[in-house]
Structure 1
């Protein structure tokens, strides 16, 4: 090498380059501070997830969700409720400035701000420590979110009478499996099909809180009066036919109930009977 000429490197192809395998770094020099992602950290994550999943499956098997009636778009009396993990958002919509005219605020703005704050928490608090006391912003936002979720869920659950709801909307399997004889050739069947079938079913078995007509003890005249003037949650003006069709309808319901006495669930004396 001559002064001012720089340094020159010459490679020799006869010398093999030493290639090292891609092995995980030895973290024994830093005990308790860090660890390899595979398999140490990932194995712990899998074990934790497996324990939670097994526990959740056992809970579902021990306490299955109650089944309600089948979806019926013609049943306007049914009050839908979201699943338990959305009840806190459902509760927000009940407040004055989060429902009605302000539904956009309750349904979009408030949940958007809440979840947006949780998403921004890691960027707002970038402290290197793992202790809760050293992460005040992230910890505060998380505790606030958990507390609000628990409180709103509790408020929503406490405002619903689930026992009464179960009685109103739970599927009656025995009633569904009961074979009902319906005389479709009866003169009043057409009036029933046009005015009553959407609420009380093809076999007069009822649906939801629309009671079955198979166990009604009302007379023909009482059935006529209910079809015109309503009863309970059933509004008046449901029937829109002639007097002759009204008479045929009442006779059809009465004769079908007598022919299948004991086959339906929920007496016809309840609200909404035709």
Structure 2
């Protein structure tokens, strides 16, 4: 019998295949639009798209910064807190009967939990290999439902906000005052009020409100300093009658400067609310 005739060489696993060490990546041009190499093709595209959106978002923030409001005043009961724009849809959801009052758990936990949970489970509910949205009804439907609900609730919430009324709470509406440290009443203020109301009468959140723009005249300020108001207890002032007069004059003069008028002595008489 001729040597090798009728025999087939199947190879020896003990001999390394030199060609397998430098395999050429698969040519995906045969499957356009269906699949591609994760590295670097797909990942590079993802990075580029993410970078474009990030730069665009940063430009938007720089061109139209988010409006900031003043420090919280615990004595201002008329203030209605409003969440940031990205939480407005949840804020609007709590206005509906089935999501508020005794059903508040439904509006704050169950409904948002189901919504975000559905988006998290979407890849597991739709395991198809298709990349076209029209061929992935479950994933596409959940995403569209989430987007429509968020946009609609945000629009409804923003449409009912009185933005002109809220403008008075903005940081830009805070009067810019220059504290006259040479005023004889400033030292009295520093000894009695500065620790709570701040070095510029700006107040401290949770402790004391601002003293700029308060609707009180000198006599009312002296009465508040001795007898207290709201959460401020009585007998917080320790000084002579002359020092009390200097303190009241200092606060009134600072408020005149803030209003830009000479008549801002706080013409509201007998007000018992809020600031002190």
- C-alpha distance in structure 2 between counterparts of 1:249 and 1:143, whole Å: 67
Q: Secondary structure at the match of 1:144?
A: helix
Residue 58 (structure 1) shift: 1.4
The answer to whether structure 1 residue 117 and structure 2 residue 129 are counterparts is no
**TM-score, with structure 1 as normaliser:** 0.69
Distance 1:12 1:228, change over 3 A: closer
1:43 aligns with 2:44: yes
What is the number of residues matched between the two proteins?
254
| Structure-2 residue corresponding to 1:31 | 32
The residue that corresponds to 2:249 in the other structure is 255
Q: Greater relative contact order (Cα 8 A, min sep 6): structure 1 or 2?
A: 2
Distance 1:87 1:263 in 2: 37
| Structure 1: runs of 5 or more not aligned | 1-8
Structure-2 change in CA distance of 1:184 and 1:23 (3 Å)? same
How big is each residue's C-alpha offset from its partner over 1:24-58, in whole Å with a ceiling of 9 and x where there is no partner?
A: 21123223332222222222222212221221121
Residue 4 of structure 1 aligns with which residue?
A: none
State whether residues 217 and 267 of structure 2, in contact with CA within 8 Å, keep that contact through their aligned partners in structure 1: yes
Q: Distance in 2 between matches of 1:43 and 1:28?
A: 18
Where do 1:223-242 residues align within 5 Å? Answer: 223=221, 240-241=234-235
Partner of 2:3: none
1:91 aligned partner:
92
Tell me which residue corresponds to 1:52. Answer: 53
Whole-angstrom CA distance in 1 between matches of 2:253 and 2:152: 53
Does the 8 A contact of 1:226 with 1:273 survive in 2? no
3-state SS in 2 of match to 1:28: helix
Structure 1 residue 249: Cα displacement = 9.0
Q: Is the 8 A contact 2:212 2:255 kept in 1?
A: no
- Unmatched runs of 5 consecutive residues or more in structure 2: 1-9
Cα displacement (A) at 1:145: 0.7
Q: Where do 1:19-168 residues align within 5 Å?
A: 19-20=19-20, 21-70=22-71, 75-77=74-76, 79-168=80-169
TM-score, with normalisation over the residues of structure 2?
A: 0.68
RMSD: 4.4
On the 8 A contact 1:205/1:212 being kept in 2, the answer is yes
